Structure 1
Amino acid sequence: MRLVGKVAIVTGGAKGLGRAIAEAYVKEGCRVVCAGRDAAAGGRLPGLGEGELAFQRADVRDSGSVRGLMRAVYEAYGRLDVLVANAGVSRPGPSADLEPQAWEEVVDTNLNGTFRSVREAVPYLEKDGGGRVLTMSSALATRVARGSASYAASKAGIEAFTRVAAVELGPRGITANCLSPGFIDEGMGRALAANERLWSHYGAKISVGRAGDAAEVAQAAIFLASDESGYVNGHVLEVNGGLSW
């Protein structure tokens, strides 16, 4: 029970890795608000006891929506300890043919959405002496794969942003670290594993011989949100089973 008494927000927390992280936090005694723009994430914030989930509609592409999310959570629960900036999308396509709208959607959701989330969370994170920021990168931030231009660029930007934020926010009692999953059997990774042609190519690059489980990423997210990681700041933690390229 490493997160007892803490309140966390997980953007993009209604499904995929975000939901796995949220549920893992709950098991550690944390009160978690999953934020997303889907209808399933709608509704008012209920009064939570420790170790429960709530859902709140928010769109990380909209600064006002993100600002309202942070304010609503703090007003409902009186504190904010952890932000997991997880919301993201992927629009694959070759650089020369990728529609500008697709590029802009990915960058605005993944990179700009992370910036907005962190920016609006900071005033609340530091109210009680500090907190934790976790951003979400990807193995593709540092490895070349055809068709991943917009996604890879957004994730590389997140890693750079996180390192800068760590230096700037450390004196305010806030650590900022980044999780970088490899091929995980959840969300986008599950779709890749289901494609036999692609998986025969990429699956062979994983030294442990299998895709990762969402729970394995969530365990790393627990560490980075807990007091155990108090001296870890500006780090990109790869969870990829030993991925060669």
Structure 2
Amino acid sequence: MFQEHRDRDEDQVEAYGRDWDAGDGRGGADGGQDLHPHTGELAEVGALIEEDPLTALLAAPRRRKTPAEAAAAGIRGPGTPGTMQPGERASVMIVAQSSGPEDGIEEALDWIEAFERDCGLLLDTEATASFAVASADVLQDGLCPPRTESPAELVEFILFEGVWYHRGNVPAAPPDDNGVSAWGWMYHRAISSARPDALCSIWDVYPLPCPGQG
């Protein structure tokens, strides 16, 4: 069963922006797992859209690719924890290359499952859940060059054009960087350069604590 997000506060929800719809878990293998309902502060600020069609797609039964099938399709994890820490929740943004929400959801699920298998840390995979989903054209509407680190500072990995990025492997910021880090510009680039009908999704993952860690 999916873990409830009880530690998301209103500031974090606002940081991503209202163009993102609240995610609602993910479809289980062969339809054997129900959607996880977001609760706590996230629901209180009205971000949960129960009838959202993207949420319904996450609930649809699906057959998960085997590791061999995913690897043959070029779908792999990052192979490194980046800045993730054992025992601390982390967020991952996936920008699908597929066209449309149906294929975008399927692609995002394939990538997050590959991330779970190979990210350099053991994860509580039953706790993995989508936090937010949106079409790229919605996020691109009115998008301006970044002037703060938010919301990039809330994300540890970005999957863009089939490549996993983290703070240690991103392209340099432009000369006129507005005082924003290369990571902040990577977040902006991923959204601004995405095909308009691409699906963007943010996932919460939960690295397990190290032995003896409180």
TM-score, normalised to structure 1, is: 0.27
Structure ID, larger Rg: 1
Structure with more relative contact order (C-alpha pairs < 8 Å, separation 6 or more):
2
Greater fraction helix:
1
TM-score, normalised to structure 2, is: 0.29
